[in-house]
Amino acid sequence: MRRSFALLLVFLLGTLGAGLGAPPKPSGLPKLGIISAIGDKFYARKTGLGFLGEDFKEMAIGSWGIDEMMTAKLRATLSARFDVRPVTYKRALFAVFPDRSGFLAQHFRPEAVREVTPQGLDAYLVVVKDERTNGGSRPMFQGLGSTEGNTNVDPIMFVHAYYNIYLVDGRDFRIKSQAGSHIPRPFNPFFREGMSSPARKVDASLWPTSLNAAEHQKLKGVVVELIDQSLPPTLEKLLH
């Protein structure tokens, strides 16, 4: 009786070990690491005439868990095509905006992937902040943020989610493809919404008067919805 119980215990422990402690089994799919670095700050801007009435603030939003959410969504979407592996990286290395000090803006540097652990995967999917203008040279709208027309009558506020996704070769660290976040819209030559997508007009009461991210859950909800709506078409553009 004791011998039978001992054999059963060994079998159960072996089964648990295979599920929890064993290294991942080869799947035959390309090995992919996911890096997301867009969820550290929210950029809020008020615009006025010239420099009059302008305001700009940065709010730390790490507590919103945007990067963790993005990574989970990408893993769930891509697991049928890739063997997604966990990676570690310094988020601050990727959470930077393009360097515009030279003649041409230097956008994402794929060499930064050399600092990711582990190395040797087939590819790395990197999600970084984007900067966009609204039909002119200024102001620059950045990453996850909002903009409000600084007027005393019927202020208009938009929330935007601007990011780029890069697929980087894990061997030579070259960019294989890239796509900017967007939500497809029907073309209408006679009407143009106030901000390029992904953006949404919201009530001006959502303007972050304080910099405590915990107090702005409705704002977070709009950002999450914009990511939910923009991620599928952006990935389709990236991978096709």
**Bigger pLDDT: 234 vs 50:** 234
Report the C-alpha gap between 10 and 7 in whole angstroms.
5
Which sequence spans correspond to the domains of the chain?
27-239
How confident is the model over 161-213, as pLDDT tens digits? 999 999 999 999 999 999 999 999 765 554 455 678 899 999 989 999 999 99
Answer whether 130's CB lies under 8 Å from 181's CB. Answer: yes
pLDDT at 82 over 90: yes
**Bigger pLDDT: 191 vs 223:** 223
pTM for the whole thing? 0.83
Q: By C-alpha distance, which of 164, 184, 185, 181 is closest to 234?
A: 181
Q: Which of 108-112, 213-217, 233-237 has the lowest mean pLDDT?
A: 108-112
Answer whether 32's CB lies under 8 Å from 82's CB. Answer: yes
**Bigger pLDDT: 45 vs 9:** 45
Determine the pLDDT at residue 97.
Answer: 75
Determine the pLDDT at residue 22.
Answer: 44
Tokens in use for 212? 């405590």
Number of helices (H) and strands (E) in the chain: give both, helices first: 4, 12
Neighbouring C-alpha atoms within 13 Å toward the C-beta of 235: 16
Report the CATH architecture of 27-239. Answer: 2-Layer Sandwich (3.30)
Answer whether 131's CB lies under 8 Å from 145's CB. Answer: no
